[in-house]
Structure 1
Amino acid sequence: MHIEGEPVIAFCYIGRSGDENNVCFLTRENLFVRYKKRLTSFNNNSIKEITFEHKLLLFPMVTGGIMAPLSIHALLNSFMNPWLMLSTMIAGLFLMYIGWEGTSTMTVSTNVKDYYFFIKNITPNLISFADYANVFIADNEHGKKFYFLMKRSEWEQTKASGIFKQPQPLLLYNWSDMAGKSHPADQILLAIDPVEADINISFITHPNKDKLRPVISHNIPVEHIMEVKDQI
């Protein structure tokens, strides 16, 4: 998959699955956000982070805040048709409610300004995409890889066979999950780079159901698996 001539590392639908008019794409150089058919690009070097927020809608809140008290004042003083003023008051209160309820936003913070994309729901898919993109952008060398632990004895046997055989899905981790953490001496930290090796990474729902976790469920040639010597 390519976007604007660049190979896509990861992508995620902003709204419902399959909605090609609202999609995020991550490449080596840029983050592309297609929002309501309009494509916006952000150079990865200029992005601080991708976050999610809940924002109040100021326009309906302010408009309703003006309409409601004025209509109540007119209603109490019989300035105009009472039914019209009553309807205006209800409409104003409804606008204030909509503004107070607000909406969720995906925020792309750059060195220049913050860009807001209003979304209906913050899905686990979108959270996982943002987590991966943030790590990838902040630390390209480590962030683009996925990690897992394996017993050293089993790893030596695997290297001798030339194939990493995985009879059942193996849970992978992002660098942020593993960096700086110690592991048993009889285990080794290994990494795979799905971008360089063209390895198919699938995702399953995390037990707490608030995000997705990457897994591999097929055999991989050992030359695509790297031993991690440093844990920063």
Structure 2
Amino acid sequence: MKPVLLKCFLGKSGDTKNMLILYDQLLVVICKGQRMDFPLSSIKALVVKRKKLIIPLVVGGIGTCLSWLALHLGWYDYYLNLMIVFLFFGWMYYGLMGRDALELIEGKIQHIFLITANQFVLNTFLKFTKERQFLMQSARGTLSFHLSTKASWEAQEQSTLYSHPSLETEGFIHTSYFSELQHTYNRYFQPFDQLILIGIDLSKVEAPVKVKEVTSRNAQFPHLYGKLNKSAIVFLRAVQGPEDLQMDSNISLISPH
């Protein structure tokens, strides 16, 4: 299973039938239990807009007109007709005011998903997704890698920041250049530990980064003196064995100077 970069609920918290899930290069929209996958490279626009509800608007408008006519002509009971007028008018007003909707444009296709999500949380998610799209299109800087346990990573799926216990105990998060990645894995982890491999563009990291020489390994290692902003992550993969540490050909590996 692919590791989740970030997720956001479109309704109440914990509603897995209405949510957004962002993977390495894929956005998944689950609306009313139906799943749709969108590669980030195919998304042209992703915004929240207020949408009028056509059916309540039309039915309410027609009902208001007819019930008002019945009231004017004296059909049926006066108070019953008056109540019906207000009922249809309220329905029409509800359709006119509309609801918030997530608008996703993929090529020439427009997808609309009605939402009740917390606006701040949703806007944070969308801003993060757009930054990731830009990052994927831009030139990558020097890559560094960090290995996280699957449990630790999944516990932080709803945050735009990633932390590691070493930040509290040592004051920084350990990362390795690709040349030292295999050695780091062999030294600190057991085969088939469930891990997440995180590829980090150091030029996008918001926390202070210092490259330190570790004499015992005769190598340099970037240290992150703060939480890692997930917008700096350019690579994300589940690791269940040493073979998963091999990079794909489309991942540029630039050696440190």
- Identity percentage of aligned residues: 22
Change (3 A) 1:78 1:45: same
TM-score (norm. length: structure 2): 0.57
Q: Which residue of 2 aligns with 1:52?
A: 48
Q: Which residue of 1 aligns with 2:101?
A: 105
Change (3 A) 1:173 1:195: closer
Q: Which residue of 2 aligns with 1:164?
A: 223
Change (3 A) 1:173 1:227: farther
- 1:28-177 paired onto structure 2 within 5 Å: 28-140=24-136, 142=138, 145=201, 146-148=204-206, 150=208, 155=210, 158-160=211-213, 162=221, 164=223, 166=225, 169=226, 172=229, 174=231
Q: How many Å separate the matches in 2 of 1:37 and 1:82? A: 45
* Gaps in structure 1 of 5+ consecutive residues: 175-191, 199-225
Change (3 A) 1:129 1:89: same
The two structures, once aligned, show a CA RMSD in angstroms of: 3.3
Shift of 1:139: 4.0
Shift of 1:197: 8.7
* Gaps in structure 2 of 5+ consecutive residues: 141-199, 215-220, 239-253
TM-score (norm. length: structure 1): 0.62
Encode CA deviations 1:77-117: one digit per residue, 9 max, x unaligned.
11333233222201111112211221111111111221111
- Given the alignment of the two structures, is residue 25 of structure 1 paired with residue 83 of structure 2, yes or no? no
2:18 partner amino acid = N
Equivalent residue in structure 1 for 2:233, among 193, 197, 200: 193
Task: Judge conservation of contact 2:12–2:117 (CA < 8 Å) in 1.
Answer: no
Change (3 A) 1:105 1:227: farther
Task: Judge conservation of contact 1:104–1:122 (CA < 8 Å) in 2.
Answer: no
Give the 4+ runs in structure 1 shifted more than 6 A: 226-229
Structure with the larger RCO, 1 or 2 (CA within 8 Å, 6+ apart): 2
Task: Judge conservation of contact 1:60–1:96 (CA < 8 Å) in 2.
Answer: yes
Q: How many Å separate the matches in 1 of 2:13 and 2:62? A: 39
Shift of 1:29: 4.1
